[in-house]
A and B are shown apart, each in its own frame.
Chain A
Amino acid sequence: MELDRRSFLAATGGSLAALAVLPEFGFATALPHAADPIPVALIGAGRHGRALIDELQKIEAVKIAAVCDIDQARLDGLKRRVQGVTGYTSHTELLDKAKDVKAVIIATPTHTHKAIALDALSAGKHIFCEAPLAHTVDDCKAIAKAASKAAGIVFQSGLYARSNPVYKLARTFFRSDSVRDLICMRAQNFKKQSWRFPSSDAAKDKEVNWRLDPAVSLGLAGEMGTHQFDVFHYYLGKYPKSVWGSGSLRVYKDDGRSIADTIHCDLHFADGANLSYLASICNSFEGRFEVFQGSNAAIKLAWSHGWMFKEADAPTQGWEVYANRQQFHQDEGITLIADATKLASQGKLKDGIGLPFSPQYYALVDFIASIVESKPSVCTADEGARGTIVGIAAAQAVASGKDVEITDEMLKI
């Protein structure tokens, strides 16, 4: 399970050789080609489902055959976005009637993933399941075990760093020792948003606002943290051994919720490295990012963008002459751009800043490519389950205000 950075260097022939080819890493994701587009169904018409449907429509190898949501109004809204799509108000009806559907995308509330995923696996569908995979450790393991038994089925967990070209590019820098000795890791997710969804029907309010229900919600640590913690799992090749957390209501004190609107977690790794994580829905400053700080450089990743901040005494690499730079107060960041040499030769270096498509798009392209080209999933159910279990532990730590151990047994599928 673990692959440390030094082992990786030995395997890749050392940092200089690796760096020599790094800038040519491309954003151009090879689009899958299918003789006939793959019929796909989307289950879950919330905000995330709507974003996914917009991205799916850009992939030629996909035919959106069906959409599903238990709420008729939300379902109607989704149907308005896709020409000629069939709508269903239950996933069992969809699986029963839409026989031509080959793959399902699960974007429903976290605690409903297991039932849908297991039914879809039984029906022989390929699955893209949003992360967190589930709201309990048992459910995560149940999904992963079922997926491992489903021969010939692609199961991709929706942990987006694994498909994000900026994150993949930055990872090659990280794993070729650009940051050198890892000092600390930081991440945050700040977005001013109430986490409440409108519902005029009191009976539906609990269902619509499941994120505010402590019985099923993993809060900020689970819902947002799971995605960001996985960046560190992906880069380090290992999982934390324990997590401490705290949370409080800083703003939403009067609307009846108990799920913290602002949290802090510290994740501890076996070698003494720490990841400090802050998240809040009360402020938007600096948004979402993950940072690795080492003795030679820091790498900052921000969803669609990435930068490297080098120490003055760090060795200069040849490719840096092409680099585009951005100033952040006293620090100068080298923009991590794919195809940098090619773009520089065309005088278009600035065109390469930032992802051309949304991270969801690249994850869906990977999913379809795995189906069409019989390639391994870029993020298996096991990896999704383990990442989610770390998020669940973090949520427990926030709720209790105590350290929560993350044992090998917990992570064993």
Chain B
Amino acid sequence: MQTGQRGLFGALPIFMVIPDSTPSPGDPVRVAVHAACEAMRTRFEFVLWGSDRAHLTAAAEEAIEEIHACEARLSLFQPGSLISLVNREAALRPVVIDPQTFALLELAQDVHHQSGGAFDITIGPLMRAWGFRGQEGEPQNPLSLQTAKWGMHQVILDRRTCTVRFANEGMELDLGAIGKGHALDLAMACLTAAGGGVKDALIHAGTSSILAIGSPPGEDCWRIALGPEPDSPIVSFRNAALGISAPRGRTLQVGDNEIGHILDPRTGKPCTSANTAAAIYPSVAPGFRPVSADAAAADAWSTAALVLGTDLSNRNFQPPPSNASHPTFFLQTFRNGPWEIIGDRNYAHGSHIPSANTHLSICPPE
């Protein structure tokens, strides 16, 4: 058995389309600052537009520090992280956690319920049993597949005391499918905070989670291609978050079959229902400031959408609106197949994107 971690751009199908914009005469001089960091086992990148390079750089660095702090809090791979502490002790006692982490766990619980169990942050033991954890090439363990414990209903959140508790031993939280979005949300909060004051920015984590506010100079929106193929749809959006999930991000060879790392929590088996799923959350917050959990919600819903697959497009599942806004889904059932768009108010439910390079505007009213 082999594990395969494909190259970043081979694994995930989002590409940013950077415009060659020419400022209009009389416009203040605009500069772009690009920044990046390695965190959460991926690469975070920032593109910020503004008038003061030093200020933009400082704002990006503040946001990068926030991402590192987020990783230190949520990482499963750091024994001293808050989540590692929770995983060690929450079966023994309620563990007090900070309000930001608590809100993230509540969001994960909401998406779990609203998706009918298609999203679950407790499948860590299952991931390990399938061999998606530990050292590269660590074999699948048939015994642990039978005994692995998971299920979000066994996670008890108490908002009054800001605690988390497990109903049973052997449980484990794994925020890998939502943590990068959370980090982006916190990073964007840094950028737009009083000190930051950034108004036009696009930030992403490994191209699988994207959060953007405003637009580049001379443009109304940021444009994102949903795949490397020339006919991939291009999404134009501002003040919105996009999450994308694909089983091929990390794969295992089991016999003659290559299986992807997205597992269906409802069956405990690898998800085979779709090739790629994306979820977009347009922010409805006033002005340019995003709501606090746009990217985390988009992350979670993209995983849920991939697991739900055709159930999503066949209307067997109707995503309830979140408090903030309605997610829009893009679903590609098989590789190089057509993309389907579900849920956007500007498009007929379930309609297929008709042609190459279709532009979809996800720009909530200001």
Contact = CB atoms under 8 A, between A and B. Distances in A.
Interface in B99-114: 99-100, 102
Interface in A74-118: 74, 77, 80-84
Interface in A154-209: 193-194, 196-201, 208
B138 interface: no
B195 interface: yes
Nearest to A355: B80
Contact of B100 (A80, A197, A358): A80
Contacts of A361: 80
A73 B61 contact: no
B194 A73 contact: yes
B198 to A, nearest CB: 8
Interface in B59-94: 59, 61-62, 65, 69, 72-73, 78-80, 82, 85
Interface in A17-72: 47, 50-51, 54, 57-58
B162 A83 contact: yes
Contacts of B18: none
A197 B79 contact: no
A80 B99 contact: yes
Contacts of B167: none
A80 B97 CA distance: 12
A338 B72 CA distance: 22
B1 interface: no
B195 A197 contact: yes
A50 B102 CA distance: 17
B143 interface: no
A286 interface: no
Contacts of A51: 69, 72
A214 to B, nearest CB: 18
A194 B58 contact: yes
B57 interface: yes
A373 interface: no
B169 interface: no
A200 B58 contact: no
B8 interface: no
Contact of A83 (B54, B72, B99): B99
A125 B80 CA distance: 28
Contacts of A197: 58, 62, 195
A208 B54 CA distance: 14
A57 B96 contact: yes
A199 B195 contact: yes
B17 interface: no
B196 interface: yes
A8 interface: no
A357 interface: yes
Interface in B26-70: 54-55, 57-59, 61-62, 65, 69
B98 interface: yes
A195 B97 CA distance: 31
Nearest to A79: B99
A54 B82 contact: yes
A358 B80 CA distance: 7
A208 B195 contact: yes
Contact of A194 (B54, B78, B96, B193): B54
Give the size category of A's interface with B.
Answer: 20 to 34
Interface in A206-227: 208
A194 B99 contact: no
A408 interface: no
B196 A200 contact: yes
Decide if the interface of chain B is mainly helix, strand, loop or mixed: helix
Interface string A300-318: 0000000000000000000
Given A208-B195, A357-B79, A47 B55 contact: no
B197 A81 contact: no
Given A81-B98, A82-B98, A83-B98, A58 B82 contact: yes
Contacts of A84: 162
A198 B197 contact: yes
A73 B79 contact: no
B57 A57 contact: no
A200 B195 CA distance: 5
Contacts of A255: 54
A356 interface: yes
A83 B59 CA distance: 26
A198 B65 contact: no
B96 to A, nearest CB: 7
Contacts of B98: 54, 57, 81-83
Contact of B62 (A57, A83, A198): A198
B331 to A, nearest CB: 35
B69 A50 contact: yes
Nearest to B163: A83
B197 A83 contact: no
Contacts of A81: 98-100
A73 B54 CA distance: 21
A196 B57 contact: yes
A255 B98 CA distance: 38
Contacts of A194: 54, 57-58, 61
Nearest to A358: B80
B196 A83 contact: no
B302 to A, nearest CB: 26
Contact of B80 (A58, A74, A193, A199): A58
B195 A357 contact: no
A198 B194 CA distance: 9
User: Which 10 A/B pairs are nearest by Cβ-Cβ distance?
Assistant: A357-B80, A356-B79, A200-B197, A83-B162, A198-B59, A196-B58, A73-B194, A198-B195, A198-B58, A255-B54
Interface of B: 54-55, 57-59, 61-62, 65, 69, 72-73, 78-80, 82, 85, 96-100, 102, 161-162, 193-197
5 contacts: A51-B69, A73-B193, A81-B98, A193-B61, A356-B78
Given A47-B62, A83-B102, A196-B54, 17 more contacts: A54-B72, A58-B85, A81-B100, A83-B96, A83-B98, A83-B99, A83-B162, A197-B195, A198-B55, A198-B196, A200-B195, A201-B194, A255-B54, A356-B80, A357-B79, A358-B72, A358-B80
